Amino acid sequence: MRGSAAAARRAFAATTAVLATAVLAGCGTGDDDSASAVPVPDPARPTATLPTTAKTPEGTLLVADFGSDTVTFVDPDKGPIDSVKVGKAPYGLTVGEDGRAWVATAEGVAVVDTSPSSKEQGRPQSRKRVDRIPYETKTGPVTTGEYRGGGMGIALAPDGEHVYVGVNVPDGNGVLEVIDADEREVTDTVPVGRRPFDVDVSKDGREVYATDHDSFDVTVVRTDSPKQKQKQKPKQKQKQKQKQKPKQKQKPRRIEVAPYGTEGGLGSWLKPHYTAVRPADGKLLLPFEGEKLVVLDPRTGAYDVEKMTANTHQHGVTVTDDGTLYAVGTGPIDPDADEGPSLTVRTKGGKERVIPLDGPHEDVAVSGDGRTAYVTGGFTRDGYWNGISVVDTEDGTVRRLPAGERPLGIAVL
């Protein structure tokens, strides 16, 4: 029964709650700085690589190496072809149409040129970091591990003009920092909840959503739209309202998302992790435990809960233009009650196919034709491995591919 499985998880998590009070808890207890990879052998490293001065082929994967200070370019057939230093413990990343990648690290947001076609002093440039933007928010010493301060979720506005990054502040609430993509500087900071795992943007670019893991909520932040600025009234009409107070910028709204409740607080495993924005209506999709899919209306704050079938702890999620949802199952909270790692492929009508995976995973990206899903093995907690599971979404076959050091965030170039 689904209810009894959830109860078992709560009981299992409760046995570790005492340890959780000593640190900011993630999906359980304890910090993972000392965690090691699971003893699963990685596939053999490819012998054939592309020269670092070659133009990056379309369909190349870019992953954030949370266990290192690099991003790795990965040929989806052969494995790693190049890497670029970006800053300690990179977490999420996003790539614009101009080929620039924005990477949330512990030290700042790195900007990486993924298309090395320009020339400087007659020499071809290889893929490289072109900038790193420091955070306005004070996050303490630069460290590694699940609870490190610095950038986590990151997203790019549809028009490419702004980058939004969720900044974790150890022992406190997080901050959403707004970056001007052209000037490459922070232009605004907005308070959000604890540990913003994920950041997403509405299709029209007017709202940003920070998924706040440790406070059981999603923060909705309105943006200043250029279209809205153009609709300002002429000066002669504005004079009629001189006695009115100036219009204030809308404050962020935090919406609790806790289909299992908030029992256990920081020690609970039953928290929101990643969010996908449904293309059809702009509602937010948040999977929980392979049992419940929260469908949240960010305008009203109300949500419905739909049934899921994987029965496993879930993290990364993405949705394609046709409404197909992909949700990453990291593995069981309680091995006696839960299933192992998996990838759920859910149609817009709610029909699910659960594809088993070998070992923990974290995030997912999908090829342009929708036939292949790439699931990173980095995992925010212990049990990670240094590779990607490549999933054929039509026949469900899976192969493993080497990919950097503890890869988390992923994008298809």
Which residues make Cβ contacts (< 8 Å) with residue 104, sequence separation at least 6? 64, 90, 91, 92, 93, 150, 151, 152, 153, 154, 165, 166, 409
pLDDT interval class at 229 (50, 70, 90): very low
Distance CA 106, CA 197 (A): 13
Mean of pLDDT over the chain: 85
- Percent of the chain exceeding pLDDT 90 equals 75
pLDDT digits (tens, 9 = 90+) for 341-370: 999 999 999 999 999 999 999 999 999 999
pLDDT at 99: 92
> Which region among 13-17, 22-26, 212-216 has the lowest average model confidence (pLDDT)?
22-26
Q: pLDDT at position 248, please?
A: 39
Q: What angle do CA 169, 31, 267 make, to 5 degrees?
A: 80
| pLDDT computed for residue 30 by the predictor | 41
**Residue 208: band (very low, low, confident or very high) from pLDDT cuts 50, 70, 90:** very high
Domains, in order of start, for the chain: 2-31+58-238+253-412 (2.130.10.10)
Check residue 9 and give its pLDDT.
59
pLDDT at position 125 is 56
Of 93-102, 232-241, 337-346, the least confident: 232-241
pTM, full prediction: 0.86
Q: Report how far Cα 137 is from the mean position of its chain's Cα atoms.
A: 20
pLDDT: which is higher, 43 or 384:
384
- In terms of pLDDT, which residue wins out, 13 or 330? 330
Distance CA 219, CA 213 (A): 11
pLDDT top residue among 5 and 359: 359
| Full DSSP string of 12-77 | HHHTTHHHHTTS--SSSSS--TT----S-PPPPPPS----TTSPPPTT-EEEEETTSSEEEEEETT
Mean pLDDT of 332-345: 96
pLDDT attached to residue 5: 56
Q: How confident is the model at residue 7 (pLDDT cuts 50, 70, 90)?
A: low
Mean pLDDT of 39-52: 40
**Predicted local distance difference test score (pLDDT) of residue 302:** 98
Whether 72 contacts 404, CB under 8 Å: yes
- Report residue 289's pLDDT band, with 50, 70 and 90 as the boundaries: very high
Q: Where are the beta strands (DSSP E) in 88-184?
A: 93-95, 100-104, 109-113, 119-120, 123-124, 128-133, 150-156, 162-168, 175-180
**pLDDT tens-place string over residues 175-204:** 999 999 999 999 999 999 999 999 999 999
Q: How confident is the model at residue 56 (pLDDT cuts 50, 70, 90)?
A: confident
7-11, 193-197, 235-239, 249-253: least confidently modelled range: 235-239
Q: What per-residue confidence (pLDDT) applies to 383?
A: 87
The predicted structure's pLDDT at residue 251: 81
Alpha helix ranges (H) inside 112-170: none
300: Cβ contacts below 8 Å, ≥ 6 apart: none
Q: Report residue 68 CA to chain centroid gap.
A: 18
Percent of the chain clearing pLDDT 70 (strictly above): 77
3-state secondary structure of 133: strand
**What is residue 6's predicted lDDT score, i.e. its pLDDT?**
59
State which amino acid sits at residue 89: A
Cα gap 195→217, rounded to integer Å: 10
